[in-house]
Amino acid sequence: TFTVAIVGRANVGKSTLFNKLVGRRLALVHDTPGVTRDRREAPGSLGQLSFTVIDTAGIESGDKESLQARMAQQTMAGVEDADVCLFMFDAREGVVTADEIVAQLLRKAGKPVIAVANKCEARFNQGGEAWALGFGEPIQISAEHNIGFADLIEALAPFAEKSESDEAAEEDESNKPLRLAIVGRPNVGKSSLFNCLLGSERALTGPEAGITRDAIAVRWEAEGREILLHDTAGLRRKARVAGNTLEEMSVGSTLEAVQFADCVVVVIDALQAFEKQDLTIADLIEREGRAVVFAINKYDIVPNRAGLISKMREKLDQSLPQLAGAPMIATSATTGEGIDRLLPAVLAADKAWNTRVPTATLNRFLEQALQRHAPPAISGRRVKIRYMTQPKSRPPTFALFGNQLKALPDSYIRYLTNGLRETFHLEGAPLRLLLRGGK
Ligand code: GDP
């Protein structure tokens, strides 16, 4: 489950909402005189959503410094533990100094913030000021009269989804074998590398220790991790008659291998690199959302080795920017060069593919990215980016919430995607960025 903190100055209606979310029993606790109001936490629900609610202390009027100090102690502790904060203000009074102080602290905390305008049972006429706080269009509710809860549910739902998928993922990812496939166009050296990787030809030709008969994969352990290497009939047969390249890997078997795999090694012929067919294969992997490592093979016969990899990088960045930065290893199946670096690169790409960025970290990234380079105005209206979550990994998938996001130009999306890739070391994993919300 996830945790929601209700944050705001005193008297905006935090406790009323808290009580609505938590239910009657705790409401009584609150009504007891003398109850310390520093922080209350209880299981809550709204519609189908269940979560933990934290009611943080409000700030009373007073001088700025002591307010800040009190906020820092009481409220920030609650915010720290939250996955999402509801920044609540009183729509009838509009945004006052105390609200601004709260907003400022929330921005510093880097958590996703949903602005909530309370006491909207009659009319909400302070929209302009609320927008200026930087949390996007406020959700209009009346905690007391149960108005606007459907919108609140909609805004909170992504956090429930995320926590569910987190929990499910943690369960089934614990020590699953890494599924690996080797693909590439004919004659680049797939079978030879397959052989090399397994360490010995004996493993493929003899009565096969460690190889499951008739299975489509070879199973072995490397670097403390169990590896399942996809073994198409073609690769296996060819491996037995080394040097014979009659069998070719068809598009169908490439797709099959890619769909089998978590991580795919794309074998590229160093002397004929990134030809159309190579790009088709890499593009397929990108679309299927698999982790990828490039093996630049036949390194032994490259006449001019200096700068080979950086030249390859340039080609990749140009033709497949979505896979920019993917690990690239120069290999030779003939001399064995570089083979020992292949699995570590695969493990790194797989790690990137499985990465989960905590919501707070993600929103700190987002805030900085927005500061450095604000989204452009589209036909006079500002695109509002509110927060970001990572609903899933494998491949890392991020969801951006705000208004008018569909209007964001590709260049801005690329700016965010590149930033995510570099900041969180996601090289080798294709990234997904979902645009959500907004009328
Ligand atoms: P596949 O069709 O991609 O499976 O390619 P193969 O593994 O059958 O290799 C095709 C040809 O390239 C064979 O003659 C191999 O001996 C040769 N080959 C594979 N890897 C290397 C390498 O790293 N260096 C050199 N010089 N030749 C290689």
Q: What is the pLDDT of residues 24-53, one digit of tens each?
A: 555 444 444 434 445 678 888 898 888 988
Instruction: Report the pLDDT value the prediction gives residue 351, as an integer from 0 to 100.
Output: 93
Task: Give me the mean pLDDT over the 296-317 stretch.
Answer: 92
Determine how β-strand 84-90 pairs with β-strand 139-140.
unpaired
Binding site membership of 374 for ligand 1 (Cβ less than 6 Å):
no
User: Which atom of ligand 1 lies at the shortest distance from residue 248's CA?
Assistant: 2
DSSP string, 10-35: TTSSHHHHHHHHH-HHHHHHHHSTT-
* Distance from C-alpha of 194 to C-alpha of 187, rounded to nearest angstrom: 13
Which residue owns the Cα nearest ligand 1 atom 17? Answer: 189
* Distance from C-alpha of 104 to C-alpha of 284, rounded to nearest angstrom: 45
What CATH class is the domain 178-354?
alpha beta
- Digit-coded pLDDT (tens) for 58-88: 655 555 566 556 656 667 777 888 899 999 9
Percentage with pLDDT > 70 across the chain: 78
Helix (H, G, I), strand (E, B) or coil at 378: strand
Task: Look up tokens 């950086």; give the residue.
Answer: 310
> Mutate which of 185, 188, 190, 192 to test ligand 1's pocket (most atoms within 8 Å of Cβ)?
192
* Distance from C-alpha of 285 to C-alpha of 292, rounded to nearest angstrom: 7
For the segment(s) 2-171, the CATH number from 3.30.465.10, 3.40.50.300, 3.40.50.880, 3.90.1170.50 is 3.40.50.300
Give the full edge-to-edge strand order of the sheet including 178-183: 217-222, 225-230, 178-183, 263-269, 291-297, 328-330
Instruction: Report the pLDDT value the prediction gives residue 130, as an integer from 0 to 100.
Output: 66
Binding site membership of 389 for ligand 1 (Cβ less than 6 Å):
no
Task: Give me the mean pLDDT over the 271-280 stretch.
Answer: 90
Ligand 1 center to residue 331 CA distance, Å? 11
Helix (H, G, I), strand (E, B) or coil at 53: strand
Instruction: Report the pLDDT value the prediction gives residue 350, as an integer from 0 to 100.
Output: 95
Task: Give me the mean pLDDT over the 261-285 stretch.
Answer: 92
Instruction: Kindly tell me if the per-residue pLDDT of 242 is higher than 50.
Output: no
Q: Point out the least confidently predicted range of 28-32, 114-118, 197-201, 217-221.
A: 28-32
Ligand 1 center to residue 199 CA distance, Å? 16
Instruction: Kindly tell me if the per-residue pLDDT of 140 is higher than 50.
Output: yes
**Which part of the chain has CATH 3.30.300.20?**
359-436
DSSP string, 380-403: TEEPEEEEEEEEETTTTEEEEEEE
Binding site membership of 302 for ligand 1 (Cβ less than 6 Å):
no
Give the full edge-to-edge strand order of the sheet including 397-403: 384-392, 397-403, 432-436
* Distance from C-alpha of 438 to C-alpha of 352, rounded to nearest angstrom: 30
* Distance from C-alpha of 65 to C-alpha of 36, rounded to nearest angstrom: 22
Which residue owns the Cα nearest ligand 1 atom 6? Answer: 189
Domain 359-436 has CATH 3.30.300.20: yes
Amino acid at 240: R
- Return binding residues for GTP: 8-15, 55-59, 118-121, 184-191, 231-235, 297-300
> Mutate which of 187, 246, 277 to test ligand 1's pocket (most atoms within 8 Å of Cβ)?
187
- Digit-coded pLDDT (tens) for 246-259: 344 456 678 888 99
Ligand 1 center to residue 436 CA distance, Å? 47
Binding site membership of 332 for ligand 1 (Cβ less than 6 Å):
yes
* Distance from C-alpha of 254 to C-alpha of 258, rounded to nearest angstrom: 6
Where do the H-state alpha helices sit in 296-439? 308-319, 339-354, 359-372, 410-423
Ligand 1 center to residue 218 CA distance, Å? 20
Which residue owns the Cα nearest ligand 1 atom 11? Answer: 187
Which residue owns the Cα nearest ligand 1 atom 19? Answer: 189
Binding site membership of 253 for ligand 1 (Cβ less than 6 Å):
no
Ligand 1 center to residue 272 CA distance, Å? 13
Ligand 1 center to residue 193 CA distance, Å? 8
Instruction: Report the pLDDT value the prediction gives residue 344, as an integer from 0 to 100.
Output: 92
Which residue owns the Cα nearest ligand 1 atom 20? Answer: 189
Ligand 1 center to residue 242 CA distance, Å? 9
Which residue owns the Cα nearest ligand 1 atom 24? Answer: 298
265-300 in b/e form (b: 16+ CB < 10 A) is bbbbbbeebbeeebeebbebbbeebbbbbbbbbbbb
* Distance from C-alpha of 67 to C-alpha of 70, rounded to nearest angstrom: 5
Ligand 1 center to residue 238 CA distance, Å? 11
Closest C-alpha among 139, 166, 142, 140 to residue 155: 139
Which residue owns the Cα nearest ligand 1 atom 15? Answer: 243
* Distance from C-alpha of 51 to C-alpha of 120, rounded to nearest angstrom: 24
Q: Which helix (H) or strand (E) holds 255?
A: helix 251-260
Q: Which residues pair with 316 in a beta bridge?
A: none
Contacts of 85 (CB under 8 A, 6+ apart): 4, 5, 6, 7, 79, 106, 109, 111, 112, 113, 114
Binding site membership of 247 for ligand 1 (Cβ less than 6 Å):
no
Instruction: Kindly tell me if the per-residue pLDDT of 8 is higher than 70.
Output: yes
State the average pLDDT for the chain: 81
User: Which atom of ligand 1 lies at the shortest distance from residue 335's CA?
Assistant: 23
**Which part of the chain has CATH 3.40.50.300?**
2-171, 178-354
Ligand 1 center to residue 89 CA distance, Å? 68
Helix (H, G, I), strand (E, B) or coil at 225: strand
- Digit-coded pLDDT (tens) for 375-420: 888 777 778 888 898 988 999 999 998 878 888 999 999 999 999 9
Cis preceding-peptide flag for 395 (omega within 30 of 0): yes
Task: Give me the mean pLDDT over the 187-195 stretch.
Answer: 88
ipTM of the complex: 0.92
**Helices and strands (H, E) in the chain, number of each type:** 16, 17
What are the backbone dihedrals phi and psi of residue 145, each rounded to the nearest 5 degrees, phi first? -105, 15
Instruction: Report the pLDDT value the prediction gives residue 437, as an integer from 0 to 100.
Output: 67
Task: Give me the mean pLDDT over the 314-328 stretch.
Answer: 90
Q: Where are the beta strands (DSSP E) in 270-338?
A: 291-297, 328-330
Task: Give me the mean pLDDT over the 291-306 stretch.
Answer: 94
Binding site membership of 243 for ligand 1 (Cβ less than 6 Å):
yes
User: Which atom of ligand 1 lies at the shortest distance from residue 192's CA?
Assistant: 7
- Digit-coded pLDDT (tens) for 165-186: 776 666 666 568 899 999 998 8
* Distance from C-alpha of 354 to C-alpha of 397, rounded to nearest angstrom: 10
